[in-house]
Amino acid sequence: MFHGRACQMRERSEGGGLAKGAIRLTQVSLIVVLCRCWRPMPTPALGWLDHDESARLPRPGQSDVILKTAPPMSTSAYQHLVQRHLRMHRLGHLQSIASWDQSAFMPPKGNEARAAALAEVGGLLHEMGTAPELKTWLDQAGAEPLTEVEQASLREMRRAWDARNALPPSLVEALSLATSHCEHAWRSQRPANDWAGFLPNLKEVVRLQRDMAQRLSDAQGLSLYDALLDRYEPGMRSAEIDRVFGDLRQWLPGLIQRVMAKQADEVVLKPEGPFAKSAQRELGQAAMQLMGFDFEAGRLDESAHPFCGGVPEDVRMTTRYREDDCLPALMGVIHETGHGRY
């Protein structure tokens, strides 16, 4: 069964210094089973990310994608745009690494200063990305002889410019501060089940997100949900999501019932912990290698909640470990590696 293939448990003597429950890979390991349907994808044509200054990495996903192309000598306006976005990308790189460190390594008392620093950088990026000259360059570049790739790059630059100009700098900085404070407090509130303490911070984040949604909706002529959705999946609309999930509703419940009925008579071999973090980390890295993750351009660390951040040239992934169960960390690694591969 699933658990049995995941890990084989063995006991070693106390004299050997290793506790019961050390993890080792089997010849037919769970990773291979999980990755059977994995097909390594070719490196995307997207070269770098222009970070969304109002959103907290990770998710990672959340970024305006700009194609990295060599600025052509004959198109000065397009060259100006590429150089500006390249500067923003580099600052966004530092912003994302500071955000990763905030979640993975920063000491607790550093959060106030780090939150203020991230908000400051976010405000600077917003200012650079809404500067009036960008509108002039965008209009001029539209009349220049660009390649198909450059036209796509220009289209994404314009989309990013329109979205940023719908948001005032004060909202961008306020949302950055609110999310930093909320997430940092959540780390201690979650294990304590302190919903009452968490609620005020959450309300402030929701209030600011609703403000942002309204402004984007007004500027783009979209519904509130679609305006937010467009930040992460450009062009996607809730009507299409309803169609996709409407189809799933037709057959997924029945499939789940059949699977549960089949498993009801099967014996599950549940691994017995404790599982050392070092062994879980080794297992996760083996899964990452099978999925084609480039350890020369990224790393795996630990945080309160798994995420994937950084930039394509410098990917930062995390997972979290439980010594009584090895599967959550492994599932987190596999999920985040899917993000990191892009």
Task: Say how far apart CA 38 and CA 306 lie, in whole Å.
Answer: 20
Catalytic residue among 53, 173, 183, 336: 336
Pairing of strands 8-10, 22-24: antiparallel
50 vs 29: CA distance, rounded Å: 39
The answer to whether 51 and 89 are in contact (CB under 8 A) is: yes
Q: What is the mean pLDDT of the chain?
A: 82
- Whether the predicted pLDDT of 266 surpasses 80: yes
- For 212-245, the DSSP string reads HHHHHHHHHT--HHHHHHHHHSTT--HHHHHHHH
CB 125 within 8 A of CB 51: yes
In this prediction, residues 90-96 reach a mean pLDDT of: 96
Q: What is the CATH number of domain 48-234?
A: 1.10.1370.30
Q: 189 or 63, which is more confident?
A: 189
How much is the pLDDT for 216?
Answer: 97
- Residue pLDDT, tens place only, 285-342: 999 999 999 999 999 999 999 999 999 999 999 999 999 999 999 999 999 999 999 8
Least confident of 55-64, 93-102, 142-151, 282-291: 55-64
- In the chain, what are the domain boundaries? 2-37+267-340, 48-234, 236-264
Determine whether 19 is exposed, middle or buried from the number of CB atoms within 10 Å of its CB (0-12, 13-18, 19+). Answer: middle
Residue 120 appears among annotated catalytic residues: no
**Using 50, 70 and 90 to split pLDDT, how confident is the model at 9?**
very low
- Predicted confidence band at 24 (pLDDT cuts at 50, 70, 90)? very low
Residue with tokens 């002529």: 221
- Contact assessment for residue 287 and residue 328, using Cβ atoms and an 8 Å cutoff: no
pLDDT digits 0-9 by tens, 106-161: 999 999 999 999 999 999 999 999 999 999 999 999 999 999 999 999 999 999 99
Instruction: Please give the model's pTM, rounded to 2 decimal places.
Output: 0.73
Residue 342: per-residue pLDDT: 82
Q: What are the CA-CA distances from residue 229 to residues 47, 138, 170, 235 (Å)?
A: 23, 24, 22, 9
**Residue 27 backbone phi and psi in degrees, to 5:** -65, -35
pLDDT at 32: 35
